[in-house]
Chains A and B, each alone.
Chain A
Amino acid sequence: EDKVVQSPLSLVVHEGDTVTLNCSYEVTNFRSLLWYKQEKKAPTFLFMLTSSGIEKKSGRLSSILDKKELFSILNITATQTGDSAIYLCAVLIQGAQKLVFGQGTRLTINP
Chain B
Amino acid sequence: GAGVSQSPRYKVAKRGQDVALRCDPISGHVSLFWYQQALGQGPEFLTYFQNEAQLDKSGLPSDRFFAERPEGSVSTLKIQRTQQEDSAVYLCASSIQTGVGNQPQHFGDGTRLSIL
Contact = CB atoms under 8 A, between A and B. Distances in A.
Contacts, number: 63
A92 B95 CA distance: 12
A88 B56 contact: no
Given A42-B108, A43-B107, A98 B42 contact: no
Interface stretch (B10-18, B68-76, B78-86, B97-105): B97-105
A32 B102 contact: yes
Interface residues of B, number: 28
Interface residues of A, number: 25
B66 interface: no
B109 A98 contact: no
Contacts of B99: 97
A31 B42 contact: no
Contacts of A43: 43, 91, 107
B25 interface: no
Contact of A90 (B42, B55, B59): B42
Interface of B: 3-4, 31, 33, 35, 40-45, 48, 50, 55-56, 59, 91, 93, 97, 99, 102, 104-110
B102 A103 contact: no
B41 A100 contact: no
B46 to A, nearest CB: 9
Given A42-B108, A43-B107, A50-B102, A98 B43 contact: no
A97 B42 contact: no
Given A43-B43, A90-B42, A97 B102 contact: no
B102 A88 contact: no
B45 A98 contact: yes
B102 A98 contact: no
